[in-house]
Amino acid sequence: MMISKQLHTLQFKTKQNFEENLTCLKNLLLECESDSIVLTPEVCLTNFCYQRMEEASEFAKEATNTLLNLSNEKTIITTMIEKYKNGFYNNLKVFCNGELLHKQSKHKLFPLGNEHLHFQAGSIEEISPFEMSGIKCGAINCFELRFIELWERIKGCDLIFVPAQWAKERKDHFQTLTKALAITTQSFVMASNSANDSMGGGSGIITPFGYVTQDDLKEIISFRANFNDVAKVRKFIDIGL
C-alpha cells in the first residue's frame, strides 16, 4: 500500500512576545494543507528564555491546547518548555488527530548554551520509534543530532524529525549531519532550524537517498514524500534495515 504525505518544515523567527509567536505559528499552519505533517524549530514559541522559565511553562499549557485543536486536520511536531515537579524540561511533542501522540524530553543538553544549568535531562528511553498513520517515526532534538548512539535508537524509522536552534557558526554541521542521518538510516528526515539572527537556518527535507529540498528564503519548505521510496532504497542498497 502506497503512503504519500505532504511534508512541511518551518523556518521562522521567534520574538520575545509568546502570544505573537503562537499567532505566527498558527498562521503558518493554516497555510499547510490538511493531512500534512508539519515540523517547527525547537522552542519556537519562547526561545531559550532562561529568565522567564515559569512563564514559558505556563504558556505551554495554552500552546498545547491550541495545537491539539489544530492537529485535527494535520500532524504537528514542536518542542516547548514545561515544568515537572521541581525541574524544567525541553519536551518534544507530536500532536495528531486532536491528541498528544508522543512526547520525549531532551536527553542531551547543549553545554555551550548552558542548557544543563536550566533543564533536567530526559530519559534516553524516551527516544524511541512511534507509529503515526502507518508511518514509523522517530525524533531527535537539536544537539542530540551529534550522538550516533541516539541514531541507533531510531534506526529503522521511515521518517525522522529534527527540530533545532542551531547557530549559524555551525550551520554546515547541521546540514551535513541531517543529510548523513537520512543516508545512514535510509529514512526521510525533516529538519527545522530557527531563522533567528544568530541561528543558521538550513532547514530542509531529505530523502532516504540523500536528496535535499532546502531554501533559506522560505518560512515553509515543502516536499511530497512517497514512503514506498524507503523500502526501495533499503532493497537497492541493503544495509540490513
pLDDT confidence of 86, banded at 50, 70, 90?
Answer: confident
Q: The whole model's pTM is what?
A: 0.97
Taking alpha carbons only, the member of 215, 172, 174 closest to residue 9 is 215
Q: How far apart are the C-alpha atoms of 76 and 73, rounded to whole Å? A: 10
pLDDT digits (tens, 9 = 90+) for 98-143: 999 999 999 999 999 999 999 999 999 999 999 998 999 999 999 9
At residue 218, the pLDDT reads 97
pLDDT at 232: 95
Q: How far apart are CA 55 and CA 222, in angstroms?
A: 33
Confidence check: pLDDT of 2 > 80: no
**Sole residue written with cell 505532504:** 6
CA-CA distance, 151 to 208, in Å (whole number)? 14
pLDDT tens column, 132-179: 989 999 999 999 999 999 999 999 999 999 999 999 999 999 999 999
Confidence of residue 1 (pLDDT cuts 50, 70, 90): low
- Whole-number mean pLDDT of the chain? 97
| Separation CA 233–CA 169 (nearest Å) | 33
